Structure 1
Amino acid sequence: MNTTASPKTALPVPSSDHLEERSRRALTEPMSVLALGDGLYEVESASDHTYLVDLEAGRCTCPDYVFREARCKHIRRVAIEITHGRTPPPGEIAVACRDCGETTFVDEDASGPFYCETHEIHAGDAVRDRETGDRLTVVDVSDLRADAVTIGGSDTTVADYATNEDYDPDVPVVGAVYPHATVAKNGVVPGSLKVYVFPRTRLEKAT
């Protein structure tokens, strides 16, 4: 899984606060933090050296911690970035949204594709079919994979369907309807509300 590191930069220093030297350096020195999962973080320092921080254990592989057992600037930087929402807390990782590339935090055991709040879809949302440009309404977002769901009692899976061959086979299946139901005297014709299934990556949230 490709995870995303925070931008390597210095952070603002509160002008009214008296900071201990390590805390000040944790803010003023440009660093980048990458959540690896299991409470571990990779910190790239201003000197381009990389250190591993175990936040929950309060340990770091840098000389300041190894030889002095100090709460070093790298441990402090990870804690600061989590507090400021720049880096995910333990149990989560940072990933890029499949549609826009924006960084979003997800459970470290979650499987992709991943989407930010803007592009995540739910039942009732309007979506656009990337293949045809048609607009549909989502009725269900399944946990089942496109290569595990067959179409209409056939032996063909959603992933193997001809127009889905260019889309990921291991993504969830989404059920959607076309918003042009046929209306008869007695109401909506049930057959006109047929649910079609798509690989998640074939659909994008309509704007």
Structure 2
Amino acid sequence: MTHPEHTPASLPATRSKTTRPPADTTGRARRARTDPMAVRPLRDGRYAVETDGGTYVVDLDARSCTCPDAQIRDARCKHRRRVALDVTDGLVPPPGQRTAVCAVCGGRTFVPTGDDAPALCARHAIDPGTLVSDRETGDRLVVVAATGDRADSVATDEGRLVADYPSNADYGRHEPVFRAVYLDALRRGGDVTHYAFPASRLRPVTDRDAGPSPTDGIDAAGPTTA
């Protein structure tokens, strides 16, 4: 009689089984690449791995798999190895994260499982302290914080929503808001006002960017306190 722990899980697959080049590997490492498998992340942070022989559940954090090779031989089976490969290559989210859609470009990204804020991919996420340029005015600012809230839900001290400013008409109302301060204001010292911007209005300044930044005619999404 087969022990329940060694029985393939009854889980439907949502991806087609694929293979990988062997990459000069042998044994289980080779089978992890060359055997047809489909990896599907589960809501609890584990992964269902469908093979031609059945579907098994891998837990990377616990270093376990429900297949006989892992359960009986305590081996690092081909299923665990395939999941690790897919996580490393960004094909499936790592444990504790889920797949999401970037609020700016619609590209695929990964976010913490319990995070309900608008998601941003690596291209559009901006870390606090980053020097950025306002696409509308060319002014230089320093990002203070990512609010995690949408432009159509964040109000400035003027009582207007960030999304309702005419200067933000070309940016998505659904985009997350960043708070930033003008670089010239920081240089002058004293009290510094924080301004709110839709994510895609701010462009990180690269080493190739040069020249002074204008600061006249400011029309950011209004002043707002941090």
- The TM-score bracket by the shorter chain reads 0.5 to 0.7
Q: Secondary structure at the match of 1:33?
A: strand
Detail structure 1 runs of 4+ shifted over 4 Å in the superposition: 42-45, 69-76, 84-87, 94-105
Aligned amino acid, residue 160 of structure 1: D
Q: Which residue of 1 aligns with 2:152?
A: 147
The answer to whether the 8 Å contact 2:58/2:79 transfers is no
Please give the alpha-carbon distance, in whole angstroms, between the structure 2 residues aligned to 1:25 and 1:142: 44
Please give the alpha-carbon distance, in whole angstroms, between the structure 2 residues aligned to 1:144 and 1:80: 31
TM-score under structure 2 length normalisation = 0.55
RMSD, matched Cα? 4.2
Aligned counterparts, 1:17-166, within 5 A: 19-20=27-28, 24-29=30-35, 31-41=37-47, 43=49, 53=57, 55=59, 58-59=65-66, 73-74=78-79, 76-82=81-87, 84=88, 86=90, 87-94=92-99, 105-110=110-115, 111-116=117-122, 120-130=125-135, 132=136, 134-143=138-147, 145=149, 146-154=151-159, 156-166=160-170
Q: Which residue of 2 aligns with 1:203?
A: 202
TM-score under structure 1 length normalisation = 0.59
Change (3 A) 1:101 1:160: closer
Change (3 A) 1:123 1:78: closer
Q: Which residue of 1 aligns with 2:212?
A: none
Please give the alpha-carbon distance, in whole angstroms, between the structure 2 residues aligned to 1:14 and 1:94: 31
The answer to whether the 8 Å contact 1:138/1:174 transfers is no
Identity %: 36
Structure 1 unmatched runs, 5+: 60-64
The answer to whether the 8 Å contact 1:12/1:28 transfers is yes
Change (3 A) 1:136 1:90: same
Once the two structures are TM-superposed, the CA of residue 198 in structure 1 deviates from its matched residue by 0.5
Q: Secondary structure at the match of 1:37?
A: coil
Please give the alpha-carbon distance, in whole angstroms, between the structure 2 residues aligned to 1:37 and 1:133: 44
Structure 2 unmatched runs, 5+: 1-14, 71-76, 207-226
Q: Secondary structure at the match of 2:196?
A: strand
The answer to whether the 8 Å contact 1:122/1:138 transfers is no
Number of aligned residue pairs: give it: 179
